[in-house]
Amino acid sequence: MKGSGLKVAQIKDFLKASYEENPPQRIGEYQLDTELSNKYGKVYFSISKRKVIIVFTGTNSLRDWRFNVVYGLNSSAYKLTSRYKTAKRMYERAKKKYKGYKSDLVGHSQAGLLVNLLLNDKTDLDGIALNPAYKGERQGKNEYIIRSSLDPVSALKAPSNTINKVFYPSYTKKHNITIPAKTMNPLTEHSIDILNRLPQDQFIGRVEGGCMNKKYIIASQFPFDS
90: in domain:
yes
- pLDDT, residue 103, reads 93
223: in domain:
no
- pLDDT, residue 73, reads 81
1: in domain:
no
Q: What distances in angstroms separate CA 2 from CA 12, 56, 76, 119, 123, one per listed residue?
A: 21, 18, 27, 12, 8
107: in domain:
yes
- pLDDT, residue 152, reads 93
How crowded is the C-beta side of 206, counted as CA atoms within 13 Å? 15
- pLDDT, residue 72, reads 83
205: in domain:
yes
202: in domain:
yes
226: in domain:
no
186: in domain:
yes
Q: Which residues, at least 6 apart from 38, have a Cβ–Cβ distance to it below 8 Å?
A: 86, 90
- pLDDT, residue 215, reads 41
- pLDDT, residue 23, reads 97
Rounded mean pLDDT for each run of 10 residues along the chain, 226 residues in total: 86 98 97 97 96 94 82 86 94 95 95 92 84 89 92 85 64 79 97 98 73 38 33
pLDDT tens sequence across 122-178: 777 899 999 999 988 888 878 899 999 999 999 988 776 776 666 655 445 678 899
Q: How many domains does the chain have?
A: 1
Q: What is the pTM of this model?
A: 0.86
Give the C-alpha separation, 87 to 56, whole Å: 7
Domain that holds residue 199: 6-218
Q: Which has the closest alpha carbon to 197: 12, 56, 18, 53?
A: 12
130-133-139 Cα angle (round to 5): 75
CATH number for the domain including 66? 3.40.50
